[in-house]
Chain A
């Protein structure tokens, strides 16, 4: 390895905005790689279920243009992991296509590597039959039928597929689902940096400037060397502290001392954090513990039914005062009507009413009782049959508008804020897998495509 390797992470997620002034300042530091993440499961199962991307293609392209221009000027790789929110093959294709457009517009001759990580059901079923699919906690049942139900299954790649692409001369890598950490650790590991500091620097910068005390005014870069890494917050207002760096191990992570990754685990129990200045912290003592078996985490999403929703707002003071009684009766009446008119029972559909302004975010776990002025009643109906879900909404509609208290002779009219009052959400999805797959070779679950532009 040369003396040190600088990894610049301009954002926690491509498409979420870029501070151009900070990026230009960061480029003066001459990073050896520009790397960032492009997705997460945070936004829920819909994206993986459909393979779709949350971000706008126009925004992604505008940011890619800035990154690709900078990459070319410095002559360093640009690496993007978990392309298209969920890391589906379609997400990789989206980013790859945008890179090709930008390369053509800039007249760049570049080698673009696309790394695809979707797993077909047959591959995962075979691995299950071989005893190579292992559950993570909390353990959930898995069988062939569940695997078949998944519309998309992705495997999260470690550093090896990135290293393979870099060794083939890739200037730009757009990868499918990858651990956030691997995207940032791959180049230092390839160039011989010690694995502990390389992975730990990656973990620290996985959400960009979140590890600083000034996330709105900072960009982060880590310089990894033989003994550890130095992380620097870039920007005149930017600050970070040993505490803010250490605390990032807590973030969205169930164990703050050990991070399990493909091929091993990052152990930071013995790590030391020392302030070098108000903008940089030195970290040493992080350890990489290689695993006996190489595993990749699987994520899968399966259809959970067709869903429609209807929002009504209840404002009448007597309705607010007796809301629970009113809603209980509405729920009861609706279930009877659904059974009578549609001939289906409780097992055939899911119907929920969320009382917005009362307890919609927490449901039964809400300990507080207040006296709201109004309550939004969000009815959510889900069933395996699209037309059946619409039938339920059609039945609900007049009741959500006019349902009275028992002794009211005159029908009330509650507030419908929208026309049409109901919204069809189409097919919705659920996360179905919490497993890892043992693989014989870190590259074997992944497929590579190399394209040279302008050639």
Chain B
């Protein structure tokens, strides 16, 4: 997804209580651009996924051109309200949000 913009996003459960996003950038330039983008900040991510901004953790992995963002899962894995056991669809929400914003 968003390959044309020079990055791809995946999401996955990291245990039952955490969700983690990996933003794979094609090159250092895209990585630098996305590292400073407000759409990937803690407040934006918390707002998008109904999470607590204080709990959002962001890692800039320059050697890999990867931005990793982890936050408490919007719903606990496998709870009655959960819709996606492995948490992989939330990545599309982020990718489409970035695409709409022209990031």
Contact = CB atoms under 8 A, between A and B. Distances in A.
Interface of A: 41-46, 136-138, 140, 243, 246-247, 250-257, 304-305, 307, 350, 352, 354, 360-363, 365-368, 380, 382, 428-431, 434
Contacts, number: 104
B16 A250 contact: no
A221 to B, nearest CB: 23
22 contacts: A41-B77, A46-B78, A137-B72, A138-B52, A246-B63, A250-B22, A250-B61, A250-B66, A251-B12, A252-B15, A256-B68, A307-B80, A352-B80, A360-B83, A362-B83, A362-B84, A363-B83, A365-B74, A365-B90, A367-B100, A428-B80, A434-B16
B14 A243 contact: no
Given A305-B80, A365-B93, A41 B15 contact: yes
B40 to A, nearest CB: 15
Interface of B: 12-18, 20, 22, 48-50, 52, 55, 57, 59, 61, 63-64, 66, 68, 70, 72, 74, 76-81, 83-86, 89-90, 92-93, 96-97, 100
User: What are the nearest 7 A-B pairs in CB distance?
Assistant: A44-B78, A254-B70, A431-B16, A138-B72, A45-B78, A254-B14, A361-B89
A297 to B, nearest CB: 9
Given A360-B83, A363-B83, 9 more contacts: A137-B55, A246-B63, A250-B20, A252-B15, A253-B14, A254-B14, A304-B79, A365-B49, A431-B77
B57 A254 contact: yes
A271 B90 CA distance: 31
A246 B17 contact: no
A41 B79 CA distance: 13
Contacts of B86: 42
A430 to B, nearest CB: 5
A431 B20 contact: no
B14 to A, nearest CB: 4
A350 B80 contact: yes
Given A250-B22, A250-B66, A304-B79, A434 B17 contact: yes
A42 B77 CA distance: 9
Contact of A250 (B68, B77, B84): B68
A250 B10 CA distance: 11
A305 B81 CA distance: 13
A354 B89 CA distance: 15
A246 B90 contact: no
Contacts of B93: 362, 365-367
Given A138-B72, A246-B64, A247-B66, A362 B89 contact: yes
A269 to B, nearest CB: 11
Nearest to A45: B78
Nearest to B81: A352
A382 B81 CA distance: 11
B73 to A, nearest CB: 8
Contacts of A305: 80
Contacts of A360: 83
Given A250-B22, A254-B70, A431 B17 contact: yes
Given A44-B77, A362-B89, A252 B97 contact: no
A243 B80 contact: no
A361 B76 CA distance: 15
A45 B55 CA distance: 24
B13 A42 contact: yes
B59 A255 contact: yes
A380 B83 CA distance: 11
B96 A367 contact: yes
A366 B97 CA distance: 11
B35 to A, nearest CB: 15
A46 B16 CA distance: 12
Contacts of A43: 85
Nearest to B19: A254
Nearest to A354: B83
Given A250-B22, A257-B59, A361-B83, A45 B16 contact: yes
